[in-house]
Amino acid sequence: MHRTTRNRAGMPTDNVNGLLLIDKPAGPTSHDVVAAARRALGTRRIGHTGTLDPFATGLLMLLVGRVTRLAEYLSGPPKRYDARLRLGIATDTDDATGSVIATSEDWSALAPASVRSALESHVGERLQLPPSFSAKKVGGRRSYTAARQGETMPLAPAAVRIESLRVTSLELPDVAFEVTCSTGTYIRAIARDIGSELGVPAHLAMLRRTAIGPFDVTEATRLEDLTPERALAALRPPIEALRHVQRVDIDPVAAGVLMHGGRVALQTPGGALPGIAAVTTGERLLAVADVKDGWIVPRKVLADG
């Protein structure tokens, strides 16, 4: 006999599905945030869509229940950060948590215009060398594991895209900036590389993620406020996780076919572009599907048949 388990708010745990936006403080790891959400919602089926370093603050997107199956569709949107780099000091982690490995007062001879120009020149496509203290793997081994043991691993540069970079405050040796970039971009590496280009050591002194695609940190719940009641109130419906994907609504009859894996005809030909779509009936998310040649072909069915 199936026994329904319930969370601390009395809701069946198999009915806890959706998107939870969290404003992470400095200190906890991304895994710590997931653990807190699991306790608050009374379910273990929670994952995040991209980590934040412990010293960083800001937006974490948590997928709950069946919505964890949508993770692959949430890895692509660009991310926006507020950051501050400090010239004159380099660390082994390229951020404020590391050990100092170089210092210099040469920053005092820099012209503010040259500093601003160096940052703005990073806009566009470029190859970026990941920090040695990163989760990149070489031969199945994490780079940060080798770095902690005093070893150097040969990391390959990765292609990244800086969509925009705007200096918001320039009070040397500190430079504050806002950057929007592709997934996989290390803001620590930007700070490190800016210092190298200017001929002075540098590190990332502060980092806050303010947006992921259309999701803004102003919508998020502070981690310290995550009680069971507030977590349930903040849990957004599954369709919200695909806010950045085109939406196609179908009638209940077509929904029955789709939920059993069958393809259905577009009910408003020309109303949807070829590509990925979030298929709904009303506000209920049914599936992620391909739209092509006038048909909706399911990729992942989320609703019950």
Catalytically active residues are 53
**Bond prior to 173 in cis (omega within 30° of 0):** yes
Would you tell me how many other CB atoms lie within 10 Å of the CB of residue 263?
14
CA pseudo-torsion sign 215, 81, 77, 31: negative
Q: Which of 143, 28, 48 is nearest to 94 (CA)?
A: 143
Please, what is the angle between helix 112-120 and helix 187-198, to 10°?
130
The whole-angstrom distance between residue 154's C-alpha and the CA centroid of its chain comes to 26
- Residue 76 CA to residue 105 CA, distance in Å, equals 40
CB of 234 within 8 A of CB of 221? yes
Q: Which of 211, 204, 159 is nearest to 177 (CA)?
A: 204
CA distances from 193 to 98, 102, 120, 130 (A): 16, 14, 12, 11
Residue 53 phi, psi (nearest 5):
-60, 150
Q: Which of 236, 305, 281, 302 is nearest to 70 (CA)?
A: 302
Instruction: Name every residue whose Cβ is closer than 8 Å to that of residue 96 and which is 6 or more positions away in sequence.
Output: 55, 86, 203, 204, 205, 206
Would you tell me how many other CB atoms lie within 10 Å of the CB of residue 275?
11
